[in-house]
Structure 1
């Protein structure tokens, strides 16, 4: 099953290392005659994404500039929300949490129009800034859910003892709860990184021109109809687009599983 699952990755990698003549003469499963990285260099620096022929490097940077602040902000705000909803309950907190839960089931298409209206009212013209705000808002309900479910398993006496000792709202959060939340933080970082980096719909709707993310550029590259169809370049670009999320899962995959199961069993 693992071999069957990894077969498409093998086809992509081997095709990206072949010349066009090898691709036309051989078959999908054949190994490249020699390691040829010309397709990778073209995909990174000179491939045409529509009318622009600057490769994927600029769009890769755009995705990083969008993803990093959106992931960090949504994770921090989600931790703060989860802390409040579990340790500092207020009137209507259950209804508020229910509204957040409902938000996790809303598909991207439902929020496009109201999100566009809000962005217009805020006057956000910068593509990167718009995408950061969109992904923070849409990801906030997920990060809040993760942290809230983790914090309800933390003994309330821990917070009460800190209050008696004179610790305030933010001191309890930053000095006591946040340091023990590493598994859940890793879950949120991996979840948000994957969701934001792989997003296409928000990217194509709320960005334009040189401010588009990697996924939109990859779509434009693959669907460019001018000139010779370079399958090796398309495959190299697809692998480049997948490398960040692949790296995140390889490095933090075990923390993701630990974080999801944290607090699942009491006792």
Structure 2
């Protein structure tokens, strides 16, 4: 039976690096490659050898160390088919709907465009974890740099459909600011109030707010609840198209 160890650590200013290690196979997967030195330090601490990189999208703060790590470890780099021309060192392009084998680890690829046109997320059912990078954040979602509201809302519904017991890993530590916006559009949500207090305490102690159970996000993240009647009413948008509700929340978050 597969045995997983997942390590999350800070890269750059507010990026997260993530390493997924499967003990039986020895496979060690980096989710994106924001910064070479931070990843090398974590590998050394854990005593692991990197074997694969799963790239979520082409932005520089997610692919900066691809080529350096590939040269050092001869890793296989997996990334979205739609962005393969922009992913340094890519070996295996993949698309949403595929289930792939990554060094013996089963990985489901989910199309999550919106932040970029080709972004994908990676769900590892045997590890009980989803790696959503800049598509979904705790209490937030990615900026719409390349896609539109309809595209991102569809992407988030795919992530929302995953089991509630799934642990959500994201690309950045944005939760405290996201919480402020979330409370402004959904002020009477008790679960959100509790999460916001927890986030404030974690950040005060210098601790990360991630990973987080997806079930909690389903109850607290306004971007996952754009079709919730209570949230619509709170925003004065009862009966509106969820895409329009989502767009209104995203517009408000852009002001923070």
TM over 0.5, shorter chain:
no
TM-score range, shorter chain: under 0.3
Give the structure-1-normalised TM-score.
0.25
The structure with the largest alpha-carbon Rg is 1
Give the structure-2-normalised TM-score.
0.26
Task: Report the structure, 1 or 2, having the larger strand content.
Answer: 2
Task: Report the structure, 1 or 2, having the larger helix content.
Answer: 1
